Amino acid sequence: MVTLTATYQSGLRCRCVHGPSGATLDTDAPVDNHGRGESFSPTDVVAASLGACMLTVMGIVAERHGIDLGDARAETEKMMTTTPPRRIASLRTRITVPLPADHEYRGPLERAALACPVHESIHPEIDAPVEFVWTG
């Protein structure tokens, strides 16, 4: 179990602390929801977590097989609903992998990404397509 603590700082900002390490992450409400948009919004953190989780589990598979993922990158586009209730409508992710499309571990790497804990936790009503782009 990991404890994460969020403390309201005022002005629609929070400071989040990762219990085990003490690392911090500040959030700010987005401009379109009364904030200044000067940091990640809480829903931005969800989107960033999705890409980071997918790359992390791909990295686990890659390390196990001696594969260099180099500058693999995940870009997630977050869209919010336009009607109440305000929530994430879609998280569209493009993962760019600097390996050839015919790489022998392409399947296991893609399956690992799609099975990451964050992707598995996304509510089924959220549109969450994933595109893999192999550039090597």
Per-residue pLDDT tens over the stretch 6-32: 999 999 999 999 999 999 999 999 999
Same domain, 16 and 50: no
Do 54 and 35 belong to one domain? no
Contact 90, 76 (CB under 8 A): no
Average pLDDT rounded to a whole number, residues 97-115? 98
Q: How many domains does the chain have?
A: 2
Beta strands 88-97 and 130-134 are parallel
Q: Are residues 64 and 122 in the same domain?
A: yes
Q: Are residues 17 and 47 in the same domain?
A: no
Q: Assess contact for 77 and 58: CB atoms under 8 A.
A: no
Distance CA 97, CA 133 (A): 6
CA dihedral 54, 58, 60, 62 (to 10 degrees): -170
Q: What is the DSSP letter of 32?
A: G
Residue 107: what are its φ and ψ, rounded to 5°?
-55, -55
Do 60 and 34 lie in a common domain?
Answer: no
| Residues 48 and 100 occupy one common structural domain | yes
**Which class for 56: exposed (0-12), middle (13-18), buried (19 or more C-beta within 10 A)?**
middle
Q: Is 28 in the same domain as 95?
A: no
Q: Which residues pair with 14 in a beta bridge?
A: 8, 27
| 135 band by pLDDT with thresholds 50, 70 and 90 | very high
pLDDT in tens, 25-65: 999 999 999 999 999 999 999 999 999 999 999 999 999 99
Range of the domain at 54: 41-134
Structure tokens at 89: 């409508």
Q: Are residues 110 and 46 located together in one domain of the fold?
A: yes
65 and 116 co-located in one domain: yes
